[in-house]
C-alpha cells in the first residue's frame, strides 16, 4: 500500500510538472491608456492546442486599483467618466508621475522604506473611465439589505475586542487565503494572477498567498453542500470565447463585503485583445443583499508573478496579540492601584 501511494504521488508530480512546462512565459508589453469602453467589441481569443479559447498568461489589475469599489453617490448612474473628467484624470496622473516631491521620494530621502502615502500609490495607476468596480445595480452601489455595509473588522467572527489567539482573526490577516472572488479584486498591491490551462481544466494562481485554484470543465456537479472551501467549489464552462465559472460551497472564513457562506458567484473571463482580460463577477446572496450585484475590471498582461512571503512579515497578527496582552496588563495594573 505504501509503495502504491508513493507511485501515485510521483505520477501526480509528473503531471503537474508537464502542465507548468507547457505554459509559455508571458512577455511584458507596454500598452497605451485606452478610452474604449471595456464591454464592447470583444476580440476573439486565440486557441489552445486542444481547441479551447486561450486565456493563459500573467495578468495584473493594477490599473484599476484607483477605481472606487462603489460609485460616489453624486455620480448617479454614470458608468463612465465624461471626456472632460477623463482628460483631467490623465493630466493629474501625468503630473503625479513627474512630481519628485511626492511622499514616496520624500520617504526614501528620510530612510523610511515603508509603503509611503496610500493616495500616491493609487495615483500611480493609469486613469480609467469606469467610475466604480460595481457596474450593476445601475447606481454602482452594493444593495445591502440593511442599507449599509457591515463593519469592517479583522476578526473571523465579525466582532471587536481582545485577540486571544490567531483563530480570532480572519483568514487574510492570518496569511491563509483571500477567498473568492476577493483574490481577484485586490486593490492596493499584489494584484497579479497567473492562468494556466490543460484539457478539461483551468488553474488560477493568485499572487496573494500563492493560492492556486483548480476549475474543472468536465460538467460534473458541485460537491456536497456539507463540504466548504475558502475558494468555494468552482465549475466552469465555455460560452463562446468566455469562460463562465459557477462558484458555491463557501466557508465562513473568507467573505466578501459581508457575504454569507451560501453566496453564489458567477465569474466571466473574456480576452478583449492579446494583452487584456475582462473579468466580471456577480454575487448572489439573498441573506445579505437585496439582489445580485456585479463588479467588472480589466487585467493587463504583465511579465511575472512575485513571491508573496506573507508569514515572513506578518507582524500585524503578532502585534494584535501582544497589544491585547498589553491592554490586559494595563487594566490589571489600574485595578491594583485602586486597591
Give residue-wise pLDDT tens across range 20-67.
Answer: 444 333 333 333 333 444 444 444 569 999 999 999 999 998 888 888
What is residue 44's predicted lDDT score, i.e. its pLDDT?
A: 53
For residue 121, tell me if it sits in a domain: yes
- Same domain flag for 219 and 244: yes
170 and 115 within one domain: no
Q: Do residues 276 and 306 share a domain?
A: yes
Q: Both 155 and 203 in a single domain?
A: yes
Check if the beta carbon of residue 305 is closer than 8 Å to that of residue 194.
yes
Q: Detail the DSSP E strand segments found in the chain.
A: 57-60, 134-136, 192-198, 201-206, 212-216, 233-239, 242-248, 264-273, 276-284, 293-301
Same-domain pairing of 96 and 226: no
| Number of independent structural domains in the chain | 2
**Per-residue confidence band for 209, with pLDDT thresholds at 50, 70 and 90:** confident
Question: What digits encode the pLDDT tens for the residues 123-160?
Answer: 467 888 999 999 999 999 999 988 766 655 455 444 55
172 and 300 part of one domain: yes
Structural domain harbouring 120: 81-129
Q: How far apart are CA 250 and CA 230, in angstroms?
A: 6
Overall pTM surpassing 0.85 (yes/no): no
Mean pLDDT for the chain? 78
Residues 6+ apart with CB under 8 A from 132: 67, 68, 69, 70, 71, 72, 75, 140
Same structural domain for residues 90 and 221?
A: no
Q: What is the mean pLDDT of residues 213-225?
A: 94
CA distances from 290 to 1, 137, 152 (A): 53, 11, 20
Residues 6+ away with beta carbon under 8 Å from 281 = 181, 184, 185, 265, 266, 267, 268, 294, 295
Does residue 239 form part of some domain?
yes
Say if 17 falls within a structural domain: no
Q: Distance (Å, rounded) from C-alpha 267 to C-alpha 199?
A: 20
- One domain, residues 159 and 307: yes
Specify whether 239 is located in the same domain as 260.
Answer: yes
The pLDDT assigned to 150 comes to: 61
CATH of the domain at 244: 2.40.128.20
- Looking at the structure, tell me whether residues 138 and 250 fall in a common domain: yes
The grid coordinates listed for 317 are 497578527
**pLDDT confidence band for 186 (50 / 70 / 90):** low
Over residues 292-338, the pLDDT tens digits come to 999 999 999 998 888 887 877 788 888 888 888 998 899 999 988 88
Q: Are residues 273 and 125 in the same domain?
A: no
Question: Do 122 and 140 fall within a single domain?
Answer: no
Q: What is the pLDDT of residue 185?
A: 82
Amino acid at each position: 500500500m505504501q509503495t502504491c501511494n508513493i507511485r501515485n504521488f510521483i505520477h501526480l508530480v509528473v503531471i503537474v510538472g508537464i502542465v507548468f512546462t507547457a505554459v509559455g512565459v508571458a512577455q511584458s508589453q507596454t500598452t497605451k491608456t485606452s478610452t474604449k469602453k471595456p464591454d464592447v467589441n470583444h476580440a476573439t481569443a486565440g486557441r489552445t492546442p486542444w481547441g479551447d479559447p486561450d486565456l493563459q498568461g500573467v495578468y495584473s489589475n493594477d490599473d484599476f486599483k484607483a477605481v472606487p469599489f462603489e460609485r460616489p453617490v453624486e455620480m448617479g448612474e454614470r458608468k463612465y467618466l465624461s471626456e472632460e473628467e477623463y482628460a483631467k484624470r490623465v493630466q493629474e496622473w501625468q503630473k503625479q508621475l513627474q512630481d519628485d516631491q511626492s511622499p514616496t521620494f520624500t520617504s526614501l530621502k528620510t530612510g523610511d522604506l515603508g509603503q509611503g502615502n496610500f493616495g500616491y500609490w493609487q495615483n500611480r495607476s493609469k486613469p480609467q473611465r469606469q467610475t466604480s468596480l460595481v457596474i450593476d445595480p445601475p447606481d454602482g452601489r452594493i444593495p445591502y439589505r440593511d442599507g449599509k455595509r457591515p463593519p469592517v473588522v479583522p476578526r473571523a467572527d465579525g466582532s471587536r475586542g481582545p485577540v486571544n489567539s490567531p483563530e480570532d482573526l480572519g483568514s487574510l490577516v492570518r496569511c491563509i487565503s483571500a477567498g473568492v472572488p476577493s483574490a481577484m479584486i485586490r486593490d492596493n498591491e499584489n494584484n497579479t494572477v497567473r492562468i494556466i490551462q490543460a484539457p478539461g481544466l483551468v488553474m488560477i494562481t493568485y499572487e496573494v498567498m500563492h493560492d492556486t485554484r483548480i476549475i474543472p470543465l468536465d460538467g460534473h456537479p458541485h460537491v456536497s453542500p456539507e463540504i466548504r472551501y475558502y475558494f468555494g467549489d468552482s465549475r466552469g464552462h465555455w460560452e463562446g470565447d468566455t469562460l463562465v465559472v459557477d462558484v458555491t460551497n463557501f466557508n465562513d472564513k473568507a467573505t466578501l463585503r459581508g457575504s454569507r457562506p451560501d453566496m453564489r458567484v458567477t465569474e466571466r473571463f473574456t480576452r478583449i485583445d492579446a494583452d487584456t482580460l475582462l473579468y466580471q463577477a456577480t454575487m448572489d446572496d439573498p441573506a445579505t443583499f437585496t439582489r445580485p450585484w456585479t463588479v467588472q475590471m480589466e487585467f493587463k498582461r504583465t511579465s511575472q508573478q512575485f513571491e508573496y512571503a506573507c508569514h515572513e512579515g506578518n507582524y500585524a497578527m503578532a502585534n494584535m496579540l501582544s497589544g491585547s496582552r498589553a491592554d490586559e496588563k494595563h487594566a490589571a495594573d489600574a485595578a491594583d492601584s485602586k486597591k
